[in-house]
Chain A
Amino acid sequence: MMRTLLGAAAAATMFVASASWAQDVKPAVVFDMGGKFDKSFNEGIFNGAERFQKETGIEYRDAEVTAEAQREQFLRKFAQQGFDPVIAVGFAQGPALEKVATEFPDTRFSIIDMVVDLPNVQSIVFKEHEGSFLVGVLAAMASETGKVGFVGGMDIGLIRRFACGYEQGVKHVNADAEVYQNMTGTTPAAWNDPVKGGELAKSQFDRGADVVYAAAGGTGLGVLQAANDAGKLSIGVDSNQNYLHPGSVLTSMLKRVDVAAYNVYKTAADDTWAAGIQVLGLAEDGVGWALDDNNSALISDEMKATVTQVRQDIIDGKIAVHNYTDNNECSF
């Protein structure tokens, strides 16, 4: 069970159900180019907003950007029409938000995956390296060959952060383990190239890897498929992908953008919304690992115990996970 996360959600639900502040918020969200049904990042936000709407009955409004210039246009429009809070999805909206948030200092904005330093902006970023560390631990314990793989999407700092955290987790269990890393490409197209993802995974299997972690959006589906075909293990990313190939997907690294979106609205309604940088890591349940019926047979009690301990150690600061983008290198 996804204990920790569900716990948080349940608490939120109980809280919300009894509240009466609901009329004060007019939530809105500006999705980015991918659109709200991108099966990935935007859709995660969408799910969180939907959940908020369902639970509270407060309707939210959304807009989908189709041209560069519309980011600013839509953000400004929502602000003009009195929407509050407004979520800007994705780092690409940073410059636009900077302008609009300055123009509307009384409106509360939240931006996901990007830091905008203004008094009325809440910047939400995730410690993907922490979640990746956990799945790295699981990968190392599940591996029989001592060799594991990583397939990234677009070669950017964010994905290297995943890779670096993963590598640390693997080495934490087995210092001699080998970690093969491949990036699918250098452009946004790398997020949606399952064929190439599958090829990269296969080549890693050929070199002896028996667990592969895909942090590559739609490309990852090809990685998971290739692992299933080859009888190897894979690790999904962002949302719980365990159900895709039960018995082959070892676990999924969860990045709870839906929780983030939900919490933005919830805290705003609750009047606990605060500007500033929110870094969501293991402690905040912003990242985690997925355990459900689909993969429970793959996770031994020993693995479960170890990863639970490691998680607690990270939260307690006993294990420091290096963040790649702190210095743009994977030094630990």
Chain B
Amino acid sequence: MSEGGASVSERPEAATAASGRAGLPPAIELRGINKSFGPVRANRDVSLVIQKGSIHGIVGENGAGKSTLMSILYGFYQADSGEVFVDGRKANIVSPDDAIAAGIGMVHQHFMLVDPFTVLENVVLGAEGGALLAEGKAKARSELQRLEHEYSLEVDIDAVVGDLSVGLRQRIEILKALYRGAETLILDEPTGVLTPQEADHLFRILASLKEQGKTIVLITHKLREIMAITDNVTVMRGGEVAANVATKDTDTEQLAELMVGRKVLLRVEKTPAQPTETVLTVTGLNVVDGAGVRRVKDVGFTVRAGEIVGIAGVAGNGQSELLEALAGIRQPASGHIRVRDQDISAEHAVDARGMRELGLGHVPEDRHRMGLVMPFAANESSILGYHYDPAYNGRIIMERQKIIDLCAAQMKAYDVRPDNPLLTSANFSGGNQQKIVVAREMERNPDLLLVGQPTRGVDIGAIEFIHRRLIEMRDAGKAVLLVSVELDEIMSLADRILVMFDGAIVGEVAQSEANEQVLGLMMAGVSPDAADEVA
């Protein structure tokens, strides 16, 4: 084990002191880990024990220190102080190579794969075992087939990675780690990119890995996942361990409270909607993407002032394209979008700026790709889409101070931290970035608000805040269209729920009639009546 560079020394008393079930030493033990970046203490005296052959969850809000901790374990960072024990022996991990040699594998949130290479080539990448590729590949092929068989990780090992789905790519990452001899697997937010079905499949794989004696560390912010598959859970808050508990002894409310440090309202309180006139009417809308594929198929619906209409569906079923067409980012191929009296169609296309001028606000699905300009200062990001507003534009000169003041006011109203309009957008946490976007779009007082995945990658405190704001918008008489892949979010916020499957709307369900089973079946393309019967 030490041949890979990790120096591992015996430390018998630790092994006995922290031994887990059946007297085995724990797979990983961290003791008193401290890590500071300048004045900021990212990890503060963190100690935890991960039992061999268990699934161990680590939860915490953005910035709680869980990624830093795992980066230390995987050798990206060095701890300022503290000790790491692997299999009861002190390990000195100073690089990912050391971690791999110590039997620790990591599946990153963003996959580290080479798209034009085949699965096999990706797996042997960095572990070719000699100058001649053919020999290493032949060896890898038989080893991979064994691993696939053993852990039911079916992938066509000769497929080109670029052609595979996200779920399959994740399996390759797991295979890569196993191929390098990982006994402990760290998965960083593994379900963030998966459909519910793919997530289920992943959990089955993790369970089978556990049965084979592997140890799994699952980093996530989704409490339901923690409850579903982990044995033990560590809650982190502000760089410290808030709790180490057995999963069976806790529940989501308690975990949420531990994470945030106060009581959290997971359900949204709201009164029944009182919709008035129709603001948005969509009829026969078709959207074709750049590759010529029809992504939105004959979609029609309405949104009235004073209601939230939710669009549910598994990611990739046309919701994104629908939202972009409504926002003026994509032009419809055919059909009509009517905002109040204004008709928009392929013949009368309106761009995003034109749509805003019709009274539309848009919180985009992806704040990194669209919502913010990361290298810009926060105040510049806070006028994205409204940069032409005469409120801060002279004939030529933009009045920067007015923009900064505007941004500062929005930051205050939406509790953005730090409330510094001059700070670069990229330097805010995910939740605060999202608040900047939400503030920008809501404070313009739009008649129609399009909202895509408003709480993706956002911590619990911010989710609560954003949800409350959406309800307030509705109650103020705005029309809100909410697109989300989080069923919980749709069910708690939307007054009416539309389900999209394969570009078309499968059906509509009122909030009062919605339940997970019915919606789940509709998301798989089953019509509402049939879904009712099955349910």
Indicate yes or no for A touching B, C-beta below 8 A: no
**A interface residues, Cβ below 8 angstroms from B:** none
